[in-house]
A and B are shown apart, each in its own frame.
Chain A
Amino acid sequence: MSAVLEETPVPVSAPVRDGGTRAVLALARFEARRLLTSVPVVLAFAVYVAWIVWHTQNSWDGYPALQDVDRETQTMPTLVGLAVLVYANSAVLRSGRRGTESHFATLVMPPWRRTVAHVLSLVPAALLIAVCVAGQFAREAFKPGAVGHGSPAELAVGPLCVLLFGAAGVLLGRVVRSALAAPLLVVLLLFTAAFSAAPGVTDATSWLAPFVVEQSGPTLPSDLLGRPAAWHALYLAGVVLCVAFAAVLLAGGRTMTVRAGVVLSLALAVTGGVLQAGGAEASPELTAARERALVRPELTCVQRDGSTYCAFPEWEPRIDTWARTVDEVRSLAGGSAHERPLVVRQRVDATFGLAGDAAVPPSTEADRVTVGTVWGGNRVPEFSSAVAAVLVAGSEEAGGELCDGRMVTLMWLSLSWQDDPMNALSRVRLDDSVAGSATVLSPTNPMTMTEGQTDVVRHLLEKPLPGTGDRVKAHWAELTEPGVTTARAAELLGVAAPEKADSCER
């Protein structure tokens, strides 16, 4: 009657070792898909991509310096990062909210493995951000006027920030089991961002923030930037890993790997933090190089049509653009100025790095024009005015002190060849006006136009270019003679004399 088992069943001793990893990856894939299709993240991505498309259309006036562009990619991923933080947090809390925690308890996957999956589910979002950042950078880099070099460490900050925010959301879900915690954290983060946005000198502590943009400063050659970008990327990576491992540890993952991971990533973050703090202060060599950039920079010089153009090596591709402007202005001049060889030298005040905003002093040497590191937009008429000032007054410093009728010739030379001279006139003036007295900007010290001079220049720009051009060439000697009055200049150029006499308001 008794049934005899012919074979004793082999008890299953332990779950298959690999099963855990596969289950984690499957859950990570599932969570990643839910994350990337959730409404806040999709909206944030939509706004982010729209911003990239809209922003890169006219950014940098079509002449970007790539060492500035890479920093520009760092701010906007935060928007996606905040959405990822909120969603990742709610994903961690989902099982508690839905009351399915006890169902999961019967599975082979302990809570800490699920936390690993939640952390891994952030990776596709970060990769997508990396694609967007690369797209933004590539779009700028492929503009014909692009110069300089981007830094991969600066470009990595955007994706790392998103990972950091997401990991923080996961960690928060493991620490505080409340759905309100993440939104409140976001508000506090927004507060911190808004109140610490005041521009100032960046020091070691400000580099502890996820990103340090320093966008308002001058454009500098890559080797004068003095940003510890690589150490900062290392620091960020360390913090991301540390937060992620801490979340796993708090979820009960007390294995050796996790403990070692927490310690190692903490060490990584501290190393990065210390080294970036060291790099935040300008080293003596960097300070010396920055001071040299203003006084006697190491420039590459090229000859174009008799003139010499000296630029920082990164700006060499832009020399042809400058040469075209110089040729346009020179072709309008008369007398010896028509063929005069000029020396165009690039200078930048890098003494205080990106925090500085000092004007470059005008050059005292004859026939020497200064050009800055930025081009396009308003910089074109400004440079053109500097070229005209050197042709009319002899040197930049003399051009800044002009206070007579020569100013009329100067401004006409500077503006009349441009596509929209009247628009260029308003853009080159500090107050964007085309009437009254105003300050005229140039790459170095500004110049001054009186009300009468403005009227004459405006009348001249309204007349056809060839007629005035012939008059300028015919009367060049008298027009550029020191002391010529604005009324005399107007008479020579065939427009009505101004009502008011010259009086420079200084």
Chain B
Amino acid sequence: MREVTRALVGPVWRTMPWRALAAAGVLGLLTAAVPAVAGAEPDPWQTLLLLRGVALIGALGLGFLLDDPARHLTAPVPARRLLRQALRVGLVAPLAALWWTAALLLAPSASRPPAGDITLEAVVVGVLALAGAALAVRLTDEARPGPFVAAFLLLTAVLAPLLAPEDWALFVQPDDPRWSTAHDRWAVLAVVVAAAGVLCGPEPVGRGRRRAAKARRAGGPP
């Protein structure tokens, strides 16, 4: 197991969608640096919005992480899909952490929301992107579900603040008394979403009645 993992690191590293990740990373850092470059002193709500937007940009990049053009070739290999996906996440996680730290440092420090809490929000949206990608991989035969995940993530980002009940208070300002309880909820959300993502990881064992029927119709082996 350990040897397989070690052997896989190199190939997985090479097949990661680096261009999407780099594009999102650069754009995110540029966005975070806008106030510093422009010499503006934004209000706390503006910095909060800025950092949430930067987190969303990063998550859009992460949505492409599980894109694997070789997916149909690697389906029957002994190293399981969950392992390969976990390896991808594990390889990108330190970079993502570094990137987020840089974004936090670039954002105007005077009006920055509590770093731990905003990081938690960023983790949730990142994990949501990964779980969405895992779900898309699990439910469809699509080799590159990235665009769908990005669309889903954007839709969630636009609709969640509009439609989430006011009582949940997920999108509050730092001076709101509900800020800390809201972040307890964010933590719960992170765990739930991550668990859902992990559950989507394994390759389905039985081919499933529907898929088998589809394959028969297509003339392939059952």
Question: Contacting chain B: which of A9-17, A176-184, A341-349?
Answer: A176-184
For chain B, residues 49 to 77, give those with C-beta under 8 angstroms from any C-beta of chain A: 49-50, 53, 56-57, 60-61, 64
Chain B residues near A260: list those with CB within 8 A: none
Asked whether any CB of chain B lies closer than 8 Å to the CB of A90, the reply is: yes
Other-chain residue from A39, A40, A184 in contact with B60 (beta carbon distance below 8 A): A184
Q: List 23 A-B contacts (CB under 8 A).
A: A39-B151, A39-B152, A40-B154, A43-B159, A44-B155, A79-B158, A83-B151, A83-B155, A90-B151, A179-B146, A180-B64, A182-B150, A183-B147, A183-B151, A184-B27, A184-B57, A186-B154, A187-B154, A188-B31, A191-B31, A191-B49, A191-B53, A194-B49
Asked whether any CB of chain A lies closer than 8 Å to the CB of B24, the reply is: yes
Q: How far is the CA of A351 from the CA of B190 in the complex (A)?
A: 52
Chain B residues near A79: list those with CB within 8 A: 158
Asked whether any CB of chain A lies closer than 8 Å to the CB of B79, the reply is: no
B-to-A contact residues, CB < 8 Å:
19-20, 23-24, 27, 31, 46, 49-50, 53, 56-57, 60-61, 64, 144, 146-147, 150-155, 157-159, 162-163
Given contacts A39-B151, A184-B24, 7 further A-B contacts (CB under 8 A): A39-B152, A43-B155, A47-B159, A179-B144, A180-B60, A187-B60, A191-B31
B142 CB, min distance to chain A CBs, angstroms: 10
Contact B61–A180 (Cβ < 8 Å): yes
Q: How far is the CA of A79 from the CA of B158 in the complex (A)?
A: 8
Chain A residues near B155: list those with CB within 8 A: 40, 43-44, 83
A168 CB, min distance to chain B CBs, angstroms: 15
Other-chain residue from B50, B146, B151 in contact with A86 (beta carbon distance below 8 A): B151
Chain B residues near A188: list those with CB within 8 A: 31
Chain A residues near B27: list those with CB within 8 A: 184
Q: Which residue of B lies closest to A99 (CB)?
A: B69
Chain A residues near B61: list those with CB within 8 A: 180
Other-chain residue from A40, A86, A195 in contact with B46 (beta carbon distance below 8 A): A195
Contact B147–A179 (Cβ < 8 Å): yes
Q: A-B contact count, CB below 8 Å?
A: 74
Contact A90–B49 (Cβ < 8 Å): no
Other-chain residue from B23, B64, B146, B158 in contact with A82 (beta carbon distance below 8 A): B158
Q: Which residue of B lies closest to A186 (CB)?
A: B154
Contact A183–B49 (Cβ < 8 Å): no
Chain A residues near B144: list those with CB within 8 A: 97, 179
B159 CB, min distance to chain A CBs, angstroms: 6
Asked whether any CB of chain B lies closer than 8 Å to the CB of A137, the reply is: no
> A199-226 vs B: 1/0 string, CB under 8 Å?
0000000000000000000000000000
A348 CB, min distance to chain B CBs, angstroms: 32
In the complex where A47-B163, A187-B56 touch, is A180 in contact with B154 (Cβ < 8 A)? no
Chain B residues near A190: list those with CB within 8 A: 53, 157-158
Asked whether any CB of chain B lies closer than 8 Å to the CB of A235, the reply is: no
Q: How far is the CA of A93 from the CA of B146 in the complex (A)?
A: 13
Chain A residues near B158: list those with CB within 8 A: 79, 82, 190
A462 CB, min distance to chain B CBs, angstroms: 33
B211 CB, min distance to chain A CBs, angstroms: 20
Closest 10 CB pairs of A and B: A183-B150, A179-B147, A180-B20, A183-B60, A40-B151, A90-B147, A86-B151, A40-B155, A187-B57, A191-B53
Q: How far is the CA of A456 from the CA of B76 in the complex (A)?
A: 84
Chain A CB within 10 A, most for which of B23, B147, B153: B147
Q: How far is the CA of A61 from the CA of B151 in the complex (A)?
A: 37
In the complex where A47-B159, A97-B144, A187-B56 touch, is A178 in contact with B154 (Cβ < 8 A)? no
Q: Which residue of B lies closest to A51 (CB)?
A: B162
Q: How far is the CA of A182 from the CA of B147 in the complex (A)?
A: 9
Q: How far is the CA of A40 from the CA of B24 in the complex (A)?
A: 21
Q: How far is the CA of A183 from the CA of B53 in the complex (A)?
A: 12
Q: Which residue of A lies closest to B22 (CB)?
A: A180
Q: How far is the CA of A93 from the CA of B53 in the complex (A)?
A: 25
Contact B23–A184 (Cβ < 8 Å): yes
> A483-502 vs B: 1/0 string, CB under 8 Å?
00000000000000000000
A371 CB, min distance to chain B CBs, angstroms: 34
Contact B23–A183 (Cβ < 8 Å): no
> A153-187 vs B: 1/0 string, CB under 8 Å?
00000000000000000000000001111111011
Contact B151–A180 (Cβ < 8 Å): no
Contact B49–A180 (Cβ < 8 Å): no
Q: How far is the CA of A179 from the CA of B24 in the complex (A)?
A: 12
Other-chain residue from B56, B151, B157 in contact with A87 (beta carbon distance below 8 A): B151
Q: How far is the CA of A190 from the CA of B31 in the complex (A)?
A: 12
Chain A residues near B20: list those with CB within 8 A: 178-180
Chain B residues near A195: list those with CB within 8 A: 46, 49
